Amino acid sequence: MEKTTAASSPAKQTLIGQRIKKPDAPDKATGKTRYINDMVLPQMLFGKVLFAGRPHARIVRLDTTAAEKLPGVHAVLTGKDAAGLKFGFVRDNVALKDKVRCEHDEIAAVAAETEDIARRALELIEVEYEDLPGVFTPEAGAKEGAPLIHENFPGNKSLHFEIQHGDLAAAEAGSDLIVDNVFRPHHVTHCCMGTSCAIADFDHNGKLTIWTQTQYPYNYKMDLAPALGINPGDIRVIQPPVGGAFGSKLDVYPYEPIAALLAKKTGRPVKVMYSREEEFKASPTRQAAIIHMRTGCTRDGTLTFRAADVLLDNGAYTSWGPTIPVIMMRTVSGHYRVPVVDFKAQAIYTNNPYAGSFRGYGNVQTTYATAQQMDMLADMVDMDPLAFHLKNAQKSGEVTPQKSFLRECALTECLQTAAEASDYSRKRKEYAALREQPGRYKKGIGLASSIHNAGGAKIHKSDGIGTILKMDDYARVTVITGASEIGQGIDAVITLIVAEELGVPLEHVTIVNNDSDIAPWDVGVHASRTTFIAGNGTRRAARKAKEQILRAAEKMLGEPAQGLALRGGSVVRDRDGAALIKLDRLLRQMHFQPEPELVMVTDYYEPKSEPEGAKHISDHSAAYSHAVHIAEITVDTLTGEITVDKVTVAQDVGRVINRMGLEGQIEGGIAIGLGYALSENMRIENGMLRNPGFRDYKLITAPEMPPLDLHFIESDCAEGPYGAKGISELPTIVIAPAIANALYNATGVRIFNPPMSPETVARAIHEKRQATTQAA
Amino acid sequence: MSVETEIRFRLNGREVCLKVPATMKTLAMLRDKLGMTGTKYACGEGECGACTIKVDGKTVNSCLMYAVDCDGRELVTVEGLRAPDGLHPVQQAFVDHGAVQCGFCTPGMIVQAHYLLENNPGLTREEAQRGLEGNLCRCTGYTKVLDAVEAVAGKGACAGGKGACLGGRAPDAA
C-alpha cells in the first residue's frame, strides 16, 4: 500500500530555464556513438567519385573499360547512367555529368570491395576534355556574350528576387545624408567535422533505404527522387548521428544519388564518404555576393530609405544558396525602421563551386552591410551609434514594409543591455580619440545588431511538425518526432519539455527521430525553427497525454481532474501537493482495466505564420528576434592582426528553455561568425579551390575564442513554447559587423571585402595613412 | 599488394596482435581493422585533432602515425578512458558542462584534455586553450570545452593510476 502525505510530496518546480545535459552526450564522450561515418553494413561496397578537376569543359572521350576489369570493382557509372535524371531547385543538376561546369563536377563513380580498389579504379578511367572559356565572377557571367554555362539559362541568369516599398526617389530627395557602398562578402564553407557520407541500399521491391546526414528528411525524399527516377514514397531516410550540419545538409548533393545509383546497379549497400579535401571541394559554400547598398537618413538621425542591389555568385548549379535573398530582403526592409525599401537580387551562374544554405542564410552577408552603414550614418550625423540605433529601433507591435509583425520586439532592451554591460559609449569615445595618436596597438569597440526569423519561416507550403507521444506501463515516455538532431540539442529541449509537462524524470524520456518510416513529417532543421516548432509540438502532445491521464485518474480516484497535476512521477492533488498514485501504476491500471486504454497521442502543429508568397509581402515567421553584439578588439596596426578581447551579447530569446544548450548555441554560432569575419576564406582562382584543407583554411581555434558576456532578454513570445523564440542563427550573423565597426573605431578603416584578415587590414591601414600623408 | 607486418601492442590495457600493411595509418587500423570507431577521421593530415590518441603517454594524431610503428607500444583511445563506476571524470565534465554538441571532435578533445591534465594537474584556462589549439570544433566555440577542463583541473582526476582515473587501463586490467 502506497502511503502518501502532503509533506512528502514533491514541490512544484519548473525545469524551464534550467541547465539540462544533452542525453546523447555520455555516448559521444566515450566514443560509443556510432556516426554514419563509422557505419559498416554486411556486403557493403565502397563508392568513390571521379571529379573533373577543371572548371568548364566538354567531355570528348570517356573510357571505363580498364576500371571495370579491375578485380573487386562491382560497378562503374558515368553520365549516361544518370542522363535525364535532373534534380535541384531549378532542375539544373544531375548526379553524374556529361559536361563539366565546375571543378568538382562528378564525371564517374565506382563501387568496389574496398576503398583502395575503388580509388585505383578511378585512376584507370580515361577522360579526355576540351576546356572551355569559363566565367568566374557574377559580373563576368552577366556580360553580353559571356560563355553560357547552362544552355537553357540564357544570360547565365539563375534566380531573381525583388521588392519595392514606398517612393524611393522621394525618399532619396528627402535624405540629408546617404551612404553608398559596395560590399563583397566571400565564399566560406561549413567544415562539418564529420565529412559528407551516405549509405544506400535497395530492396527487391524497389524501395531505397538511405542512411544520410540530412537535416530535412521529409522534403529530402522529394528532392532525391527525381535524381533516381523513383517515387519519393519509395525512399526510407535513416539519420544516424552526424558530425555537424549547419545548413549544409538542407539539400541533396550528387554523392547521395550516386550512392543510390551504385546500390541499384550492384544490388548491395554502397557507402560514399568524402575525404577532407573532397569535402572542401565538393560540399556547398556560403553564397558569395556583391551587395551595392545605399541607406539614407535625415540630419536628426531618422532613417529614410534603404536600397540594395545584389549580384549573387550562383556557382555552377542552383542549390539553396541563390534563394538567400528571401532572408536578405527581410533584413534590408526590417533591420531598424526603414520607411522606404528597394531590393533587387540576381543570381548569375559561374564556373565556381555552388552555394547551399549555411547558418545565417543570407543574413550574414546582408547584416555585414546594413550594420556597417548604420555605424557610418551615426558618424555622419555625429551621433553616438547607440543613440542612433535607439532612435530607429522598432517597438513591439510594429510591422515592417514586408509585413513582418514584430509582436514582441526587444531591440531597445537588447541595445541598452549590451551597451551598459560593455560601457560602450564611453569606450567608443575614448578609443576614437586615441585613433590618430602614435602607437602600434589600437583598441576599438563596435556595436552591431540584426533581426532574424525566430518562429520558423514559411517558405514551404507548411512550416509544421508531427509528433507522436506514447507512454508504456513503466511510465517511460517515447517521443516520436520529425525534429532532427544534428548536434544542436533538440534532444535536450524535447526531454525537458516532456519532463516539465508529465512530471517524469528526464532520463525516462526516449526520442525517436531518425527514421522517416516511423517519425511523422517535419520541414527540417533550418530557419532557427526547431526549438520553437518542435518545442510547441512536443508541449501540445504532452498536454494531450496529460489530459488523458488526468481524466483516467479522476475516474479512478474520484478527484476532479482540474485539481490534479503530474509531478515527481505521481498524480498529485494541486491543492495540497499530496501524491495520490504513482504514474506507472496508474498507466498499468488504465492499460489492464476492463475498458483498456493506452496513452498514445498524436499532434500536428502548424505555426501561425503566412506563406512567403511570390511577392514576399507576408508575416512569414511566427516570431522575429533581435540580437546585439558589442565587440572589443585590439588591432596590431603593423601586421593588421585583430585580437577579439571580449564580446558582449544581448539577444531576445523569448524565454530560456535549456540554458546550457542556449549558451552553447550562441557560443558556437559566434565561433563560426568569427571565422567568417577574420580568417576563413575559400581561395577560388579561375574556379579552382586553392586551399582545400585546414592548414590553409583557418577555422577559429580555442585560444582565439574571446570571453563572452551573454545576456538573455526574455520578451515572452505569445506563440512560442513557454514564450521561447528561435535563437541559433543570430549569433553567427551579428559578430562580423560588430568587429568591422570596432575596427573602424580603432583605426578609421572599413573593410568591405571580408574576411578582415591581417593582410587585408594591414593594407587598408597602410593605404589610409598614405592618403592622409598625401592630403597633408 | 603491400607487404603485411605482424605487430604487437597494448590497446587500452589489452594485448593486441595483428598484421597490418606497411602503408596503413594507425587511425585506419583502429577504425577499419579493430572496429574502434571512437577515434575519428576528420582531416587525415594532422590538422584537426579528431583522431588524437595516446601512445606511450603522449598524444599523437593517429592519422599521421603508421600502424607498424605501434609495435611494442602502449595505446590509449577514448574508449580506454574510464572510471570504475562509468565515465572518466574528464568525460563526465564534458557531459555536465555542455561541451558536447555534435560530438565528432569530442573523443580527440577528451584524450587531449586528459593528457594535458595528467601532465599538469593544476592546468589554468589559458594553458588549456593553448593545449587544445590543435583540436578543431565547429559546434561549441570551445567555451564549454574549456569550462569542462577547468572544472576537472586541480582535482587530481588524471594523475596516472592514482586518482579516480585508471590512466587508460581497462578496469579489469588495473
CATH number for A50: 3.90.1170.50
Say if residue A273 is in the same domain as residue A380. Answer: no
Calculate how close chain B gets to A497, using CA atoms only, in Å.
Answer: 18
For residues B55 and B114, state if they share a domain.
no
Residue closest to A68 by CA, chosen among A110, A9, A102:
A110
Any domain includes A166: no
CA A510 distance to own-chain centroid? 25
What average pLDDT does range B94-109 have in this prediction?
A: 98
Inside any domain, residue B59: yes
Q: Which domain holds residue A353?
A: 289-457+614-775
| B71 plus B104 within the same structural domain | no
Please give, rounded to a whole number of angstroms, the shortest distance from the CA of B71 to a CA of chain A.
Answer: 24
Note the pLDDT tens digit of each residue in A263-313.
Answer: 999 999 999 999 999 999 999 999 999 999 999 999 999 999 999 999 999
Please give the residue of chain A at the shortest CA–CA distance from B81: A30
Task: Say yes or no: A669 and A592 in one domain.
Answer: no
Do A441 and A625 touch, CB atoms closer than 8 A? no
Interval B54-73: pLDDT, tens: 999 999 999 999 999 999 99
Is B174 domain-assigned? no
For chain A, helix, strand, coil in percent to 5 are 35, 25, 40
Residue-level pLDDT at A13: 86
The answer on B126 and B74 residing in a single domain is: no
Residues of B within 8 A of A728 (CB-CB) are none
Give me the sign of the Cα torsion angle A679, A685, A689, A693. negative
Q: Smallest Cβ distance to B146: which of A661, A670, A702?
A: A702
Question: Is B97's pLDDT higher than 50?
Answer: yes
Length of chain B in residues, anyone? 174
Contacts 24+ apart (CB under 8 A), A169-176: A170/A340, A171/A296, A171/A304, A171/A305, A171/A339, A171/A340, A172/A296, A172/A304, A172/A305, A174/A298, A174/A304, A175/A296, A175/A297, A175/A298, A175/A304, A175/A305, A176/A296, A176/A297, A176/A298, A176/A299, A176/A381
Task: Say if A186 falls within a structural domain.
Answer: no
Mean pLDDT over each residue of chain A, to the nearest integer: 97
Closest Cβ–Cβ partner in B91, B102, B138 for A699: B138
pLDDT at B158: 83
Q: Does one domain contain both A307 and A426? A: yes
pLDDT at A697: 98
Q: Tell me the angle at which helices A530-557 and A583-592 cross, rounded to the nearest 10 degrees.
A: 70
Asked if A37 has any chain B CB less than 8 Å from its own CB, the reply is yes
pLDDT confidence of A139, banded at 50, 70, 90?
A: very high
Average pLDDT over residues A65-85: 98
Residues of B with CB below 8 A from A31's CB?
36-39, 77-79, 107
DSSP state, residue B25? B
What residue ranges in A16-81 does DSSP mark as E strands?
A: 45-51, 57-63, 73-78
Asked if residue A308 and residue A215 are part of one domain, the reply reads no
- Mean pLDDT within A52-73: 98
In a domain, B171, yes or no: no
The verdict on A152 touching B (C-beta cutoff 8 Å) is: no
Say if B121 falls within a structural domain.
Answer: yes
Cβ neighbours of A695 in B, within 8 Å:
45, 47
pLDDT of A680 over the 60 cut = yes
CA distance B36 to B27: 9
CA angle A735/A736/A742 to nearest 5° reads 90
A556 burial type by CB count under 10 A (0-12 exposed, 13-18 middle, 19+ buried): middle
Residues B11 and B47 in one domain: yes
Question: In this structure, are A502 and A556 located in the same domain?
Answer: yes
B101 touches chain A (CB under 8 A): yes
Is some CB atom of chain B closer than 8 A to the CB atom of A243? yes
Contact B39, A31 (CB under 8 A): yes
The reply to whether A392 falls in a domain is: yes
CB contact under 8 A, B79 and A31: yes
The residue range of the domain holding B41 is 4-80
Do residues B95 and B64 both lie within one domain?
no
Instruction: Say whether pLDDT at A4 is over 80.
Output: no
pLDDT of A610 above 80: yes
Mean pLDDT within A631-649: 98
Q: Which CATH number goes with the domain that contains A557?
A: 3.30.365.10
Q: Is the CB of A124 inside 8 Å of chain B's CB atoms?
A: no
Q: Is the pLDDT of residue B2 over 70?
A: no
Mean pLDDT, rounded, for A126-133? 98
Q: For chain A, how big is the Rg over CA atoms in Å?
A: 28
Q: How far is A277 from chain B (nearest CA, A)?
A: 8
**A192 in contact with B, Cβ within 8 Å:** yes
Choose one of B41, B57, B80: the last residue of a domain.
Answer: B80
Residues B73 and B110 both lie in one domain: no
Average pLDDT over residues A314-320: 95
Are B142 and A702 within 8 A, CB to CB?
A: yes
Share of chain A above pLDDT 70, in %: 98
Residue of B36, B96, B97, B101 to mutate for A, most A C-beta atoms under 10 A: B101
CATH code at position B38: 3.10.20.30
B173 in a structural domain: no
- Quote the CA–CA distance of B6 and B19 in Å, as a whole number: 4
Supply φ then ψ for residue A736, to 5 degrees: -60, -50
Instruction: Report DSSP state, residue B32.
Output: I
Return the beta strands (E) in A53-105 as ranges: 57-63, 73-78, 99-100
Going by pLDDT thresholds of 50, 70 and 90, the confidence category of residue A321 is confident
- Considering the domain boundaries, does residue B167 fall inside one? no
Tell me the pLDDT tens digit for each residue of A472-523. Answer: 999 999 999 999 999 999 999 999 999 999 999 999 999 999 999 999 999 9
Verify whether the Cβ–Cβ distance B45 to A192 is below 8 Å.
Answer: no
Opening angle at CA A698, ends A693 and A702, nearest 5 = 120
Among B42, B57, B80, where does a domain finish?
B80
Asked if residue A310 and residue A432 are part of one domain, the reply reads: yes
The Cβ of residue A97 has, within 10 Å, a number of other Cβ atoms equal to 21
One domain for residues A771 and A745: yes
Are B75 and B143 members of one domain?
no
Per the CB < 8 Å rule, is B136 touching A699? yes
CA distance A116 to A301: 65
Rounded Cα gap, residues A33 and A48, in angstroms: 25
User: Which of A509, A452, A515 is CA-nearest to residue A673?
Assistant: A452
**A295 and A401: one domain?**
yes
Q: How confident is the model at residue A772 (pLDDT cuts 50, 70, 90)?
A: confident
Residue B164 in any domain: the answer is no
Whether the CB-CB separation of B24 and B66 falls below 8 Å is answered with yes
pLDDT over threshold 80, residue B139: yes
Q: Identify whether residues B129 and B67 lie together within a single domain.
A: no
Inter-chain CB proximity A190 and B138 less than 8 Å: yes
- A116 vs B: CB within 8 A: no
**Do residue A478 and residue A627 come from a single domain?**
no
- Between chain A and chain B, how many beta carbons pairs sit less than 8 Å apart? 180
pLDDT of residue B165: 42
Residues B125 and B63 in one domain: no
Domain identity same for A352 and A435: yes
User: Is B98 in CB contact (< 8 Å) with chain A?
Assistant: yes
Which cell goes with A52?
573533373
Does A639 lie in the same domain as A507?
no
pLDDT digits (tens, 9 = 90+) for A422-470: 999 999 999 999 999 999 999 999 999 999 999 999 998 899 999 999 9
A1, pLDDT greater than 80: no
State the pLDDT confidence band at A388, using cuts at 50, 70 and 90. Answer: very high
Pair B97, B138 in one domain: yes
Contact partners, residue A439, CB within 8 Å, separation at least 6? none
Q: Tell whether B166 is covered by a domain.
A: no
- The CATH number covering residue B137 comes to 1.10.150.120
The DSSP output letter for A7 is T
- Condensed to tens digits (0 to 9), the pLDDT of residues A694-724 reads 999 999 999 999 999 999 999 999 999 999 9
Instruction: Examine the domain organization and report whether B93 and B136 are in the same domain.
Output: yes
Domain count, chain A: 3
Q: Is residue A36 part of a domain?
A: no
Note whether ipTM > 0.85 here.
yes
With cut-offs at 50, 70 and 90, classify the pLDDT of residue B85: confident
CA nearest neighbour of A84 among A75, A93, A73: A93
Whether residues A687 and A538 share a domain: the answer is: no
Three-class secondary structure of residue A527 per DSSP: coil
Q: Which of B39, B106, B139 has the CB atom closest to A29's CB atom?
A: B106
Contact B132 A702 (CB under 8 A): yes
Domain stops at, among A551, A584, A605: A605
pLDDT (mean) for A358-384: 98
Answer yes or no: do B66 and B108 share one domain.
no
Global pTM?
0.96
Q: How many domains does chain B have?
A: 2
